[in-house]
Amino acid sequence: MASILFTGAGRNVVLSSALKDSNDDQFGGVRKNGLSLKKGVPFTDRNMQGLTITNVATSSRPAAVIPEPSLPTETVKNHNKLVAWTSVRQERWEGELLVHGEIPVWLRGTYLRNGPGLWNIGDDYHFRHLFDGYATLVRLHFNNGRVTAAHRQIKSEAYKAAMKNKKLCYREFSESPPKPNNFLSYVGELANLFSGASLTDNANTGVVRLGDGRIICLTETVKGSIQIDPDTLETIGRFQYSDSLGGLIHSAHPVVTESELLTILPDLVNPGYRVVRMAAGTNERRVIGRVSCRGGPAPGWVHSFPVTEHYIVVPEMPLRYCAQNLLRAEPTPLYKFQWRPESKAFMHVMCKSTGNIVASVEVPLYVTFHFINAYEEEDEEGRVTAIIADCCEHNADTSILDKLRLHNLRSFSPQDVLPDARVGRFRIPLDGSPTGGLESALDPDQHGRGMDMCSINPSFLGKNYRYAYACGARRPCNFPNTLTKIDLVEKTAKNWHEEGAVPSEPFFVARPGATEEDDGVVISMISDKNGEGYTVLLDGSTFEEIARAQFPYGLPYGLHGCWVPKTRLED
Ligand SMILES: CC(=O)/C=C/C=C(C)/C=C/C1=C(C)CCCC1(C)C
Ligand SMILES: CC(/C=C/C=O)=C\C=C\C=O
Ligand SMILES: [Fe+2]
C-alpha cells in the first residue's frame, strides 16, 4: 500500500492508495502508463483528475511515504478543465478532506449523493446523454467539524454487464443496444422490452433513506432499485418488492417519510397512474388509488410528484411516454417521450387515505422534472380550498432535454444557451372548477432564469413553506451554475456563484432543535473550472459560505442526495 501525504492548513491528510490489483474488484485495477504525481504536491494542485482507483483508505497519522501513483494518460486533458461532465470511475475511494472555514459541530451524519458519473464503456463506447451514465455514489461524513469522503460505482447488473462484455447490454435513458437484424430476434426484443428484461437497472438518479434505515438508490425503472451500505457504499443488491404489483417504471423520486414511501407507477397499457404506498420496514407496495389519463395516448412523464399533508398530486404532463420511441434502438429528439400539446396538461389530486380523486383540472402546458413542494390552502374557517404545488418549470419547453446531451454540456462556449426556467406555482382548486392556474412564484430574474435541482427543509414537506434551495443561473451559461435560496414570501433570491463552477443540488440539513425554517446548512458539491472538486457549506439563513472541503480530484456532476443522521450508537 502506498500513501500520498497532503498537508494543508493545520492538518495532515493522508490518502493511502492501494496500488495493487484488488481482489474484491473484478472490473477495475489501477490503469498504468500515465502521469506520475509529483512528490509532496499539496492536493490543491491539479494532479488527480479522472483517476481509476480500486482501493483507497485514509489515515490521520502523519505519513512519510510519498507514492508515485500512475494516472491514466487521458487524465492530462482534464487539467484546467471543468470535470463535471468527465467520467471518473472509482471502484472505491475514501479520504479525509481538507477543510477551510468551520463546519458546525452539530452537523453529524452522512450526506450521500447519487448520479451518473461514468459515461463510457472502455475506450470504445461513449454515452450521449447526461442521464445515461453509470451510477456513482459520493459520500460525505461529517463529525466534529471534520469531513471524510468516499466515492464508488454502484454495481448494477447493467454496469457489471457493460464492464464484463465491454458493450452496452441494457436500454439506458437515451441509448439501447443495437437493433436486432432479423424478424425473430426483433420479436424477442419486443418481449424483452415488455417483460422489462432489456431495461436498465442503472440506479443513477437518487438515493433515499427509508424510515427503517435502509438506503435505496433509484432510477425510473422499477428493477433499478438497489440497496447500498451507507458506510462502505457497497452494493448490497437489488431491492426486491415483495408484492405482485409488477410495473416496469415508476417515479425516480418517491416521497419518503419515517413511516412510508409513496410513489407513482405510470400505466402504459391502460394510460393512467397507480399511486402506491410501502410502509417502512416492509418491501410491499400497496395501491392507494388509480387515476386514468385525461389526455392521451400515453401517460405523461412522472420524474417526481408532490404531496400535501392529506393529498397526493398526480401530474399529467404533455411530455408523454411514447411506445414507438420506447421500441427504437436509435435515439429520437425527445428520447422515450413525445411532446403532445394537443393532449393538454392536467393535475389530479388523490386523497391519501381513501385513494379518491378530489380534483382533476386542466392546467396550462408545462415541463418539469422536479416538484419542489405542495401544501393545502385554507380559508378563514380552515376549510381546504386549493392545493398549491411548486415545481422547477421549464416554460413548457422541452429543449432542456437536448441541452443535457453531453456534447452540449461539454461545449464551453460563452453563449447563453440554457433555456429559461422558473418556479412554477400551480393552484389547483378543490371546488370542482375545471381548470387550475400556473404562474411564476417570483420574478425568474431573481435566480437568473435558471431553476432546477431543488430541496426544502424536509420538516416542511407537504406544508405551507417559505424557502426553497435550487440551482439557478448566472448568465451567460449552458447549465445552472449558481446556488440559489428562494424566499417565496418576499419573492426574492439570494445567490451563490463561483465563476466557471458547476454546483450540484443544494441539500438542506436542519440544525437539531431549530425553530426557524431556514436554520441549518446547505450542502453542495462543486466541480470547478480548474478540474478540481470541493464541497461547500452555506448557512441556510444568510446563504453565506461557511466552509468548503477540498477533494483531491475533481468530481463528476451528480444529481440527488439524502441525509443519514448519525445514530446515538455512533457517539
Ligand atoms: C437520471 C435521470 O434523471 C433519469 C433517468 C431515467 C431513465 C434511466 C429512464 C429510463 C427508461 C427506460 C430505460 C425505458 C423505459 C422508459 C424510461 C423510464 C424513460
Ligand atoms: C440537471 C437537470 C436540469 C437542469 C436544468 O436546468 C435535471 C435533472 C433531472 C434529473 O434528476
Ligand atoms: Fe431528479
Output the pLDDT for position 460.
98
Is the shortest distance between the CB of 502 and ligand 2 below 6 Å? no
The Cα–Cα gap between 317 and 305 comes to 11
Does residue 74 surpass a pLDDT of 80?
Answer: no
All three cell numbers of 44? 490543491
pLDDT classification of 180: cutoffs 50, 70, 90: low
Indicate which residue's Cα is closest to atom 11 of ligand 1.
Answer: 173
Which ligand is located closest to the Cα atom of residue 131?
A: 1
Which residue's CA lies nearest to atom 5 of ligand 2?
452
Ligand 1 neighbour 131 (Cβ under 6 A): yes
CA distances for 314 relative to 179, 270, 541, angstroms: 35, 16, 32
- Decide if 314 contacts 347 (C-beta within 8 A): yes
Residue nearest to atom 4 of ligand 2 (CA): 452
pLDDT of residue 453: 98
Say if residue 194 is exposed, middle or buried (CB neighbours under 10 Å; 0-12, 13-18, 19+): middle
List for the chain the helix, strand, coil content (%; round to 5). Answer: 10, 40, 50
One-letter amino acid at 280 equals: A
Write out the binding residues for Fe cation.
Answer: 253, 303, 370, 560
Binding positions: 253, 303, 370, 560
Q: What is the pLDDT of residues 347-368, one digit of tens each?
A: 999 999 999 999 999 999 999 9
pLDDT of residue 569: 59
The owner of cell 415483495 is 242
Where residue 42 falls among pLDDT bands split at 50, 70, 90?
very low
Percent of the chain with pLDDT over 90: 76
pLDDT digits (tens, 9 = 90+) for 497-544: 999 999 999 999 999 999 999 999 999 999 999 999 999 999 999 999
Mean pLDDT of 449-473: 98
pTM of the complete model beyond 0.90: no
The 10s digit of each residue's pLDDT in 480-498 is: 999 999 999 999 999 999 9
Specify the amino acid at residue 360: S
Determine the straight-line distance between the first and last CA of the chain, rounded to whole angstroms: 30
DSSP character at residue 180: P
